């Protein structure tokens, strides 16, 4: 099924249809390394269209690796605010410090060395190798997986396993424009070979696609259901002030300000006397009981916050969602 014209077709499409993304600017080698590093961290768990304004703001405030390595946590979190998964920001700073101290301020140029950096795993290391160092590597993200599943008309679980899809990457062949080629394949997956309603008549490789020939574009994927978790949140309120604590209990909101809360078993999740809200996270669905407390208490690492000052604070979107719900429910 391999066709030596496939790289040429894909790159021709890419040259004429690629999105203008801020991390794709023609800049110096050092800036390319930094832009790619920041964007790849941001793109973990977050869509491109969401990342763009955050990336621009981050680069404006923290324009290079040295400034990133030296930025204080408050400013770092403020620049990352709204993107979620704040551990990515902390790992990004740790990575910057390690690049400067152990790699002489140069982004490592092997997969093995890249994977020693905090927050960089198999996919991110391969993406950096392709994009920054022009290595003939096709990172296997969701977009590339979808193209391979359709090109080869893969339906059962064994065929669509990661191991099986890696072996199918031979289909793409190689190009001396490896950086552009890796991005071009992912771009086709994002813009043309979409999960629903693929734009097959715009696809440069539709003639090589078995799903197109069979007129069957449905993708078989593992059913992923978010876990449902149950929580009780205590809303300590005095006039317009609310009590928040610096979280050390929940890993997904580590060191960020939240309402005092605890996880409970489903059978103890009693909503008869209190109000309940639902918050959908990317990795779980949270059902939260809001317990109103009119008397403030002293809690270690706690802060009094006025609702009108929320915009000036570094708060996870999770806490802001509860704030927005409080006035409606209590």
Exposed / middle / buried, residue 53 (Cβ in 10 Å: 0-12, 13-18, 19+): exposed
| Distance between CA atoms of residues 241 and 253, nearest Å | 22
Strands 261-264 and 302-306, sheet pairing: unpaired
Q: Is 265 a catalytic residue?
A: no
CA atoms within 13 A on the CB side of 70: 7
Q: Which of 40, 81, 187, 232 is catalytic?
A: 40
* Displacement of CA 260 from its chain's centroid (Å): 27
Exposed / middle / buried, residue 87 (Cβ in 10 Å: 0-12, 13-18, 19+): middle
Strands 275-280 and 257-258, sheet pairing: unpaired
| Distance between CA atoms of residues 240 and 101, nearest Å | 47
Under a CB-based contact definition with an 8 Å cutoff, are residues 251 and 317 in contact?
no
Residues with active-site annotation: 40
């Amino acid at each position: 099924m391999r066709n030596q014209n496939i790289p040429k077709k894909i790159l021709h499409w890419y040259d004429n249809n690629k999105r203008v993304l801020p991390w794709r600017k023609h800049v110096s080698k050092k800036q390319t390394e930094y832009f790619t590093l920041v964007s790849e961290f941001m793109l973990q768990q977050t869509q491109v269209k969401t990342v763009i304004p955050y990336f621009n703001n981050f680069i404006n405030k923290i324009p290079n690796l040295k400034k990133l390595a030296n930025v204080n946590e408050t400013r770092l979190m403020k620049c990352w605010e709204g993107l979620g998964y704040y551990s990515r920001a902390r790992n990004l700073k740790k990575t910057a410090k390690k690049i400067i101290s152990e790699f002489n301020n140069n982004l490592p140029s092997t997969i093995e060395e890249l994977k020693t950096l905090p927050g960089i795993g198999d996919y991110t290391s391969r993406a950096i190798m392709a994009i920054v160092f022009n290595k003939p590597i096709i990172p296997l993200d969701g977009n590339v997986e979808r193209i391979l599943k359709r090109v080869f008309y893969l339906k059962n679980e064994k065929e669509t396993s990661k191991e099986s899809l890696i072996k199918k990457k031979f289909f793409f062949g190689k190009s001396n424009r490896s950086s552009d080629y890796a991005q071009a394949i992912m771009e086709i997956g994002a813009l043309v070979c979409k999960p629903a309603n693929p734009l097959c008549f715009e696809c440069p490789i539709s003639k090589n696609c078995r799903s197109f020939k069979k007129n069957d574009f449905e993708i078989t994927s593992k059913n992923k259901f978010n876990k449902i978790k149950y929580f009780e949140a205590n809303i300590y309120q005095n006039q317009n002030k609310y009590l928040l604590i610096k979280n050390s209990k929940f890993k997904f909101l580590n060191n960020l300000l939240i309402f005092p809360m605890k996880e409970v078993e489903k059978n103890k999740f009693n909503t008869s006397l209190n109000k309940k809200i639902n918050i959908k996270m990317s990795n779980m669905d949270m059902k939260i009981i809001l317990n109103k407390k009119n008397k403030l208490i002293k809690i270690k690492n706690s802060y009094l916050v006025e609702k009108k000052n929320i915009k000036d604070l570094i708060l996870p979107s999770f806490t802001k969602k509860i704030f927005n719900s409080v006035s409606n429910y209590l």
